[in-house]
């Protein structure tokens, strides 16, 4: 099967095969996905499936097998989750964390990235420079400006002590 023949075969059969798999699976999106994946597999085997004389049946079979494989994977994943039990309760963020995240969102992306790499990932200035492709002096500038901007944004007048206290 030539490239043009395969393209024509695809154009003539993709809707029909998707409809057939939709009926088999009961999920249109899953049917579209496995049919497309089957066509991708068929592309590299187009000469082989043409020799067998039933390319549509080949695509349909491959799509069905892909769907079955996905079901098995989902079932194994679900079984594994059942065996591990419910995840532990995780407390929501504290108000201070929410304020910090909001303040970080207001920073330019590069400052935010640099601060994150330094304070959350514990990277040195040189390590950050190596990872980001920035010079060490630029990293230091981003850290300095980012800290200054955060200090300004996180300055809460209600947190200041009252006079005479």
- Total-model pTM: 0.49
Contacts of 55 (CB under 8 A, 6+ apart): 1, 9, 42, 46, 49
Tens of pLDDT along 29-85? 999 999 999 999 999 888 888 666 788 889 999 999 999 998 888 888 887 777 877
Tens of pLDDT along 77-106? 887 777 877 777 888 888 888 888 888 888
* DSSP 8-state assignment for residue 159: G
Contacts of 9 (CB under 8 A, 6+ apart): 1, 55, 56
| CA-derived radius of gyration, the chain | 28
Structure tokens at 50: 């043409």
Tens of pLDDT along 117-137? 898 888 899 999 998 899 999
Structure tokens at 74: 């989902």
Positive or negative torsion for Cα 64, 68, 69, 73: positive
């Amino acid at each position: 099967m030539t490239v043009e023949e395969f393209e024509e075969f695809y154009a003539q059969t993709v809707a029909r095969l998707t409809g057939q798999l939709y009926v088999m699976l009961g999920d249109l999106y899953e049917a579209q996905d496995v049919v497309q994946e089957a066509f991708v597999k068929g592309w590299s085997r187009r000469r082989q499936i043409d020799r067998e004389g039933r390319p549509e049946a080949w695509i349909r079979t491959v799509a069905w097998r892909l769907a079955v494989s996905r079901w098995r994977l989902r079932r194994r994943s679900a079984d594994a989750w059942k065996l591990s039990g419910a995840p532990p309760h995780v407390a929501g963020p504290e108000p201070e964390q929410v304020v910090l995240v909001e303040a970080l969102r207001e920073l330019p992306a590069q400052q935010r990235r640099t601060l994150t790499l330094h304070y959350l990932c514990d990277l040195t200035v040189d390590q950050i420079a190596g990872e980001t492709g920035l010079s060490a002096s630029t990293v230091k500038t981003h850290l300095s400006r980012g800290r200054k901007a955060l200090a300004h944004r996180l300055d809460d007048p209600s947190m200041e002590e009252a006079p005479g206290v």
